[in-house]
Amino acid sequence: MKKCVLVSGGAGFIGSHVTVELIEAGYDVIVADNMSNCDMTCFEGVKKITGRDDIPFVKMDFCDSVATELLFTTNHIDAVIHFAGFKAVGESVSEPLKYYHNNLDSFMNVLESARHHGCDNILFSSSATVYGEPEKLPVTEESPRQPATSPYGNTKQMLEDVLRDSVKAYSNVKGIALRYFNPIGAHPSALIGELPRGVPNNLVPFITQTAIGKRECLSVFGNDYPTPDGTCQRDFIDIVDLAKAHVFAVRRMLEGKMKKEYEIFNIGTGKPLSVLELITASLANQELGWKAERPIKDTLAAAWAWEKHLAGK
């Protein structure tokens, strides 16, 4: 019998890519999303990529404990991957209560209902923001968490602690937190990708929107970082690679291969690129060919194909 995975926030950028990889790995998937930061574009793309018109979709808010309980009551769910939550760092600084209320309540409701209904496997979408301003680079899973630099990052730290403490307290619950760095790109099909509302919060949509003419110019802030070209370096990871990491983590839980009841993994390439390197690699793809190494070429080519797909709609 197929195992069923609930993907909360599954209509968004990361959730939609994870849904594709789960289905292609042989899992049944239920997608639930309140659509506060996305539309049906990516979910419809998931159906086209997988050839599945029957993927269950539930429009709901996980801050609603009654709706969350109903979801678990009416479905047999073996594992949860929790993405649902607000994610804009800058907005979290200006509206902290919005972030604490939404991000904390939604995850705690999921945990409560999951454990009551025998869903033992919880995968939490965390972030490298939990490391704050690290004392030493590169960070590893053993690096100490520093004070968060935003309410968004603080919610990630707090929810990791909620999951850790729940695993300790409730004998049936197992948990994995994936701390990822900077997911970029789009699915090679160009049917799903990052779909920012308004001004993007992430770099690659700025690059592709500038390249296609939606934005007049691209500004790079800071040229005195201790890097070869003076711009800050980040660990950028391809969104499909990131999505596949979730499949490995779910399989690890469902097949009883966890070494501890609560585990943490960093998900990144370990090979940082500077902001300028990323821009150069991207803009070069338009007509002149590529100068970046192959992995980042594939990533940015997919992001560019997605932008052209959106422009052609």
Catalytic (active-site) positions:
152
> How far apart, in whole angstroms, are the C-alpha atoms of residue 3 and residue 80?
11
Length of the chain, please?
Answer: 313
Q: Would strands 121-127 and 174-180 be described as parallel, antiparallel, or unpaired?
A: parallel
Alpha carbon distances (Å) from 44 to 144, 147, 187: 40, 39, 13
- Return d(Cα 204, Cα 211) in angstroms, integer: 10
- Residue for token digits 């309410």? 151
Sign for the CA dihedral angle at 52, 36, 193, 88 comes to negative
Residues 249 and 81: their CA atoms lie apart, in Å, by 10
Going by DSSP bridges, is the β-strand pair 121-127/79-82 parallel, antiparallel, or unpaired? parallel
